[in-house]
Amino acid sequence: MDISVIIVSWNVKGLLEKCLESIFKHTQKENTPAIGVFSVAVDQFGKPLFLPDEINVTIAHNALPVNSQSVENQKQPLQFEIIVVDNASSDGTVEMLEENFDVIPAAFSPRENREGIQESNAINPGSRVKRGMTIKLIRNSKNLGFAAANNQGIGEARGKYILLLNPDTEFTENSLKKVFDRMESDPSIGVLGCKLLNPNGSLQPSVRRFPRVRDIKVIFFKLYKLFPSLLDRYLAKDFNYSREQEVDQVMGAFFCIRRSVIDQIGLLDDKYFIWFEEVDFCRRAKAVGFKVVYWPGTSIIHHAGQSFGQAPSVKKQWWFFRSAWRYFFRLPPPFKGGG
């Protein structure tokens, strides 16, 4: 398996559906065999999931060419999997997934949830399951937070690379293949982030420097409202998003990790419910010699803050400062950034 995409979702049913559709659309598009080559998506036993109405069909990521000689000179398609971890959504997310996608219960799902998926996952001739859009699903009975849920997905993942992807993102090109190729070209890259765009196509800042205690104080006391430049360093206001650079941290909305980094430094710290888990991971990766890289070679759309934008402001502030406290508590004294 080349790359595993892990998406943690909480009450963003519509955005998650768009996200998944965009991944399959743009990744399968460039995995399409030449015209006249017949491909069928198959299940784990080799049985066809459906019989297409047209001979010129899009090859699914788990499809096998019937006539291998016809494609022997073509580039091997990217092997990928998508793992959705649902943090106890109450908006019908699971039902949407079961209706529109071929859902495979993941090992981390509770037994009763795995059985429920298996029973309800019969192939419906009129459903979009016929497109071969297969996902693994982990269903949590409560909201475990971003780090813990991603760790569940990583435990299920088989890819050489792990892409942590927000459910409020959309692909506009074959970003999976581009990122895979970039990571393959430089083994020193441990974490990679791509260019993020707002829904209107404008640039969305996604790179920051490691925070200092003074930066968190500025945020806590809202001094940035009086003196905005106090956060310029932390927010990397001088960063050039048009060129690839090694950075301190990239946003967790698109966070591609080399498997060997996880093998060396471990998973995300699940004591972070939300925020700072990717900052902590980037620092640990850099501490053992891996590079954290911003790469503008591909871009995605990010509808920022849609999941946790639903939470009350007071609760979000509590999560933020609790995570910030843990981040600085874990640092050795030379790196605490001053008071």
Could you say which DSSP state residue 243 is in? Answer: S
What is the distance between the alpha carbons of residues 293 and 269, in angstroms, rounded to a whole number?
21
Degrees to nearest 5, angle at CA 189 with 254 and 231: 55
Tell me the per-residue pLDDT of 61-79, one tens digit each, with 9 for 90 and over: 343 343 443 333 346 789 9
Does residue 69 fall inside a structural domain?
Answer: no
Residues 297-326, buried b or exposed e (16+ Cβ, 10 A)? ebbbbbbbebbbeebeeeebeebbebbbeb
Does residue 259 fall inside a structural domain?
Answer: yes
Q: Is 55's pLDDT higher than 50? A: no
DSSP secondary structure, 145-158, as one string:
-HHHHHHHHHHH--
Does residue 37 fall inside a structural domain?
Answer: no
> What is the number of residues in the chain?
339
**What average pLDDT does the segment 226-250 reach?**
97
Does residue 46 fall inside a structural domain?
Answer: no
What is the distance between the alpha carbons of residues 24 and 28, in angstroms, rounded to a whole number?
6
Tell me the per-residue pLDDT of 257-282, one tens digit each, with 9 for 90 and over: 999 999 999 999 888 777 779 999 99
Q: Between 132 and 101, name the one with better pLDDT.
A: 101
**What average pLDDT does the segment 243-247 reach?**
98
Does residue 42 fall inside a structural domain?
Answer: no
pLDDT of residue 154: 97
User: What domain count does the chain have?
Assistant: 1
Radius of gyration (C-alpha) of the chain in whole angstroms: 21
What residue numbers bound the domain in which 315 lies?
3-31+78-335
Does residue 225 fall inside a structural domain?
Answer: yes
Q: In percent, how much of the chain has pLDDT > 70?
A: 72
CATH number for position 218: 3.90.550.10
Does residue 120 fall inside a structural domain?
Answer: yes
Does residue 40 fall inside a structural domain?
Answer: no
